[in-house]
Amino acid sequence: MEKTTMTDTCTYVIFGATGNLSRVKLMPALYRLEVAGRLSDTTRILLLGRRPWDREQTISEVREWVNAKARGRLDEVVFKRFSQRLDYFKGDLTGQEMYPRLKSHLTDSSAFPENIAFYMAISPAEFGVVIERLNDVTLLEEGHSWRRVVIEKPFGYDLESAQALQRRIGRHLREDQIYRIDHYLGKGTVQNVLVFRFANTMMEPLWNRNYIDHIQITHSETLGVGSRAHFYDNAGAMRDMIQSHLLQLMTLVTMEPPVSMEAESLRDEKVKVLKSVRPISHNAVHAYAFRAQYGEGMIGNEKVSGYLQEENIPADSVTETYAALKLYIDNWRWRGIPIYLRTGKRLAETQSQVSICFRHPPQQFFRDTQVERIKQNWVLLGIQPCECLRVEMTVKEPGLEMRTRQSSLDANLRETEDIQTDAYEELLLDVIDGDRSLFLRYDEVEYAWRVVDPILQRWSMERDFIHTYPAGSWGPEESRFLFEKEKHRWRHGLDPEKG
């Protein structure tokens, strides 16, 4: 196989390597990088976990994980080459005795490259202790080689805990060594927001409060909480999706053009957006945020349980599985334009979409004609499952009379012959390459928490009641009370009839 540009050589050490994230995402993504020829010949992968595996069992387990994602199309030649990179290290990550052994394992032979990326596929509560103990045995020290640490979300549980975690790990790591991963930003279509905005000059003059009426960003799922019940009940939809993924997507949609695609320039502009979000006071929470919880209903032809009937969910839980939020960005470009974010589980469809609604054109031009009230133009950016761009416009119907209808310009952002990649593939490569543009800087995390923290504090005090919605619906009708104007409505998918 002909190889394309390869990355620097390194050792990927995966903490929590026998867990769900490693099985479902990390190891399949690393294997696909092998298929694409993107890993250096000497790159090694050290899986670290508590299970009493040897190297042979590790390779056998990884083969099953990779094969499950390959849907039976595993390339045996490529996997054999991939398996030669794999090693296993047994240890309890909370125990001090493991870390001197880990250091010896990594440094006493030339088998492992000196550049090391530590991937924390573990509980957020364990980030601090693992980093401290890596530091105690000098595994975070850099000389002529680099050390990088990848941290999965959530980074903190609220503003205060995020600040405490940053202080703790900041004692041992420089900011440029920390890679706070948000896999949502690795999706190709999310990055296409930047290309759409800044590589097409025809949209930039319209991308402001003078022409745009409002913006909607939606992430919906048909799935329930499943095996994540314990985590989810302590997090909820606001923390799980809006504070991280959707606020990040909002910054890409609304930020000013950065001076370059260089990481710090990009992140500087994102932080400016978050700093400009109008604060929500404690007393105004209900005018800006709405929460609800799914009840029994139908998903497709299957009857599903409500949230309170899910396994490991307390009977008196008021954790939200649906959250909607109205924000204003008080800067020159966006002042006065409402931005609506919403996410929910057990909704009618699984989709992620950015919907830009433009203002009505002046109506007097069509006075004394048969044209009814002209519908607004929309620009829709589908992120998943349909990766596409749609521009909805008004056109004249064929015939002698002056009547109009909606038409759309559609562009599929993925051709059938395009190579499909997972978000983790690009992000894993970026860690090796030292490209931090799609990772979160600490001030991004902190200002995102500042946006939602007043809401979470108010909700934590309101334990007696939460709205509900039937599974398989588009959520509670009451969430419409967030809309700034009576004519505003939630946009469900690409089809205008679903709105």
Mean pLDDT, consecutive 10-residue stretches, the chain (499 aa), reads 62 94 93 93 95 94 90 84 96 91 92 95 91 96 94 90 95 95 72 82 90 96 89 93 93 92 88 97 96 95 94 95 98 97 96 92 65 80 85 80 76 61 84 90 96 96 94 95 91 73
Residues spanned by the domain of 133: 11-152
- pLDDT, position 189: 62
Last residue of a domain, one of 135, 152, 169: 152
Residue 79 lies inside a defined structural domain of this protein = yes
Number of folded domains in the chain?
A: 2
- pLDDT, position 3: 40
Domain check: are 205 and 250 in the same one? yes
- pLDDT, position 1: 36
Domain check: are 78 and 132 in the same one? yes
Find the CATH number of the domain harbouring 300: 3.30.360.10
- pLDDT, position 373: 66
- pLDDT, position 209: 96
Choose the catalytic residue: 245, 286, 360, 492.
245
Residue 191 lies inside a defined structural domain of this protein = yes
Q: Is 245 annotated as catalytic?
A: yes
- pLDDT, position 389: 86
- pLDDT, position 84: 96
Please give the distance of CA 252 from its chain centroid, rounded to a whole number.
Answer: 12
Residue 73 lies inside a defined structural domain of this protein = yes
Domain check: are 329 and 392 in the same one? yes
| pTM for this entry | 0.90
Residue 159 lies inside a defined structural domain of this protein = no
Residue 462 lies inside a defined structural domain of this protein = yes
- pLDDT, position 6: 60
Q: Hey, which residues does 407 pair with through a beta bridge?
A: 393
Domain check: are 325 and 226 in the same one? yes
- pLDDT, position 2: 38
